[in-house]
Amino acid sequence: MWPPSQSFEYWSWLHRENPSGYSIVRVAECENEIVAHNAAIPMVMKMGEEYMGYLGVRAVTHPHYRRQGVMKRLSSEIYREIAARGPAVCYAPTEARPMLRIGPYISRGPARRMKDFLLVLNLNRILNRKDLGLLPKLGAVVLRTTHQGKILQPPDQVEIEQISEFDESFDELWNAVSSSLGKRLVVKRSRAYLSWRYSLRPEHKYLSWVARENDLLIGYVTARHFRTEDSHRGIIADIFGFDHRRDAMAALVSKVVQYFEEQDAELVRCQLSDGHPCTRVLADAGFVARPSRQWLVLGVVSPPVGVDQAWLLRRENHMITWGDLMV
């Protein structure tokens, strides 16, 4: 049931070390074997006000026990627990979509595609490998996505650097930027959350860069290498910063692209929801958007007071990144 590549250390990090609290985990057993698993990870979220959200992960049932109502029962147990804790929004990627079943405790919105942003660094390698999974995604825009080696320069007095840890300036950035987001739905990017999500995550090494102006943090980008036996890609997991500083943010993304080009990656990729303001930043840095195979599904358990549920479920009001979904 549990992928062999994911260790108990990872499981403990994900479900027990989260600064937002312990996960709600439910399993089904038969003859001393786990046959189904479902979990909801607490995430502090903001939509005008802060409240608790939950990320659905690992909603999986053994093939021999599917279509017997097992996952529906596990989901109901999780939602009963969430409802007892108070108003909440649940969200999930494609793999955990079975968790967000319509039931007595939850109202679900329509599934929405995330957006893939691609920038090709080495087209010949992709073509020579005949990557059938990637080529259709690139399609007719492949020439426009090919990086031409141009690096955007930051504005005067803006410095871009790689960092090794998240300090207190990230709390200040969150407070300043989130106050201008209105009622967009976004995971709280506190220093504690970022340190847990990207610095302490076992088995994956994340790299982060920041843009500062006179010691004021303007924004950050967090990324990692994704390597297989015959490919090497850069994945931008998270991007966040002041919307009115697109010039500095685009230069920051360009610096990350330069790093992956120097590391001989064949492309750089990012996924964002439609409502994320950094879609324009990625376009400024040369990325081209394509519909993703990854879907975002939202469900509401007891809507927060004063929140219009229909408004909340609209895709243009979501500010979700790849790193918010794929933990």
Instruction: Answer with the one of 112, 140, 157 that is the final residue of a domain.
Output: 112
pLDDT digits (tens, 9 = 90+) for 230-275: 889 999 999 999 999 999 999 999 999 999 999 999 999 999 998 7
Which tokens in the block code for residue 262?
A: 């120097």
Main-chain dihedrals φ then ψ at residue 58, nearest 5 degrees: 50, 45
* Same-domain status, 104 and 51: yes
Q: How far is CA 179 from CA 176, 205, 255, in A?
A: 6, 30, 27
* Residues facing residue 207 across a β-bridge: 223
* Same-domain status, 253 and 125: yes
**204 contact partners, CB below 8 Å, separation of at least 6:** 224
* Same-domain status, 100 and 144: no
* Same-domain status, 130 and 105: no
* Same-domain status, 176 and 282: yes
**47 contact partners, CB below 8 Å, separation of at least 6:** 89, 183, 184, 185, 186, 304, 307, 312
**pTM, two decimal places:** 0.89
d(CA 298, CA 312): 9
Instruction: Answer with the one of 49, 82, 112 that is the final residue of a domain.
Output: 112
Domain around 30: 8-112
Instruction: Answer with the one of 83, 112, 141 that is the final residue of a domain.
Output: 112
* Same-domain status, 101 and 19: yes
* Same-domain status, 106 and 205: no
Q: Where are the alpha helices (DSSP H) in the chain?
A: 8-16, 70-85, 123-129, 135-138, 142-145, 169-178, 191-194, 246-262, 279-284, 309-312, 322-325
* Same-domain status, 165 and 204: yes
* Same-domain status, 50 and 173: no
**Residue 101 is assigned to a structural domain of this protein:** yes
pLDDT < 50 stretches in the chain: 102, 104-105, 132, 140-141, 143-144
Can you give the pLDDT at residue 131?
57
Closest CA to 99 of 87, 108, 110: 108
CATH number, domain with residue 217:
3.40.630.30
**Residue 30 is assigned to a structural domain of this protein:** yes
